[in-house]
Amino acid sequence: MSPTDELMRLLKKLRMSGVMQTLDLRMKQATEENLAMSEFLVRLLADEVERREAKQLSARLRRASFEHAKTMEDFDFAFNGSVPKAKVLELATCAFVERHDNVFIIGPTGVGKSHLAQALGHRACRLGANVLYVGAHELLMQLRASRADASYEKRLLRLTAPDVLIVDDLGLRGLNPDESGDLYEVVRRRYEQGSTIITSNRAIEEWPPLFGNPLLASAAMDRLLHHSHILVIEGDSYRNPPPTKRRKAPGGATEAR
């Protein structure tokens, strides 16, 4: 068995076979730059760490089930002056995740609520947090369906286990009694255990009537608001901007600025 074959065997046993992808390059650098053995090993192992981190990030993003690949870097803060940029960038540090705080993004359709929510989720993934994105209607449908196949507790665990749960478009319609109970159960189990990001077209004071049950509403809102950050956004829609905020795209088409 050649030294290379023996090295491959050992790397596989150590679950480090990815090192072989850059081994030749690093050996060439070591020779050309007359690197010390310790520096050679540092560079080689740094490659392996980088590969593993990239693989883990890819897995976290996949599990998050984001609707779109939205990041903080591609959010157009200049389009809408009502977006509290300083507060958003502070949240993008994801210190709120460590504190298990909640984030509410409130505003009319098209002002970038979903983009910001997913961008914060993307940042959390990059920093090592487990994230799950789900539309409010889909969340309630999943819980309703789980009763039929006796997987309710399993489904609740999937919703309550992530470090960050993003619930998009809460409040488009009122909740029936079962849905009110389900939403409360998610809120109760996540309280001070994880962060929840919620987007809604409705102002916070309009949320309690959605539950249709004053006691459930009070208990849920008390937990949601205890450790929370509220972003209120107004202004024009990114999807249908006024003429003054449109520009010509390559090819002559018109797009939002």
User: Tens digit of pLDDT for each residue in 141-174?
Assistant: 999 999 889 899 999 999 999 999 999 999 988 8
Q: Would you state the structure tokens that stand for residue 161, as one six-digit string?
A: 């286990």
Q: How far apart are CA 23 and CA 2, in angstroms?
A: 16
CB atoms within 10 A of CB 32: 8
The residues spanned by each domain of the chain are: 19-63, 65-232
* Residue 144 near residue 175 (C-beta atoms within 8 A): no
pLDDT at 94 over 80: yes
pLDDT at 27 over 80: yes
User: Kindly report the CA angle at 104 between 125 and 180, in degrees rounded to 5?
Assistant: 105
**What integer pLDDT is reported at residue 96 of this predicted model?**
97
**What integer pLDDT is reported at residue 153 of this predicted model?**
94
Q: How far apart are CA 98 and CA 89, in angstroms?
A: 16
pLDDT in tens, 42-55: 988 888 888 888 99
Fold of the 65-232 domain? Rossmann fold (3.40.50)
pLDDT at 249 over 60: no
- Per-residue pLDDT band for 62 (boundaries 50, 70, 90) equals very high
pLDDT in tens, 101-136: 999 999 998 899 999 999 999 999 999 999 999 999
Q: Would you state the structure tokens that stand for residue 45, as one six-digit string?
A: 């192992």
pLDDT at 1 over 70: no
Q: Would you state the structure tokens that stand for residue 69, as one six-digit string?
A: 């690949």
Q: How far apart are CA 193 and CA 220, in angstroms?
A: 15
* Residue 115 near residue 86 (C-beta atoms within 8 A): no
Print the SS3 string covering the chain: CCHHHHHHHHHHHCCCHHHHHHHHHHHHHHHHCCCCHHHHHHHHHHHHHHHHHHHHHHHHHHHHCCCCCCCCCCCCHHHCCCCCHHHHHHHCCCHHHHHCCEEEEECCCCCCHHHHHHHHHHHHHHCCCCEEEEEHHHHHHHHHHHHHCCCHHHHHHHHHCCCEEEEEEECCCCCCHHHHHHHHHHHHHHCCCCEEEEEECCCHHHCHHHHCCHHHHHHHHHHHHHCEEEEECCCCCCCCCCHHHEEECCCCCEEEC
Q: What is the share, in percent, of the chain residues with pLDDT greater than 90?
A: 62
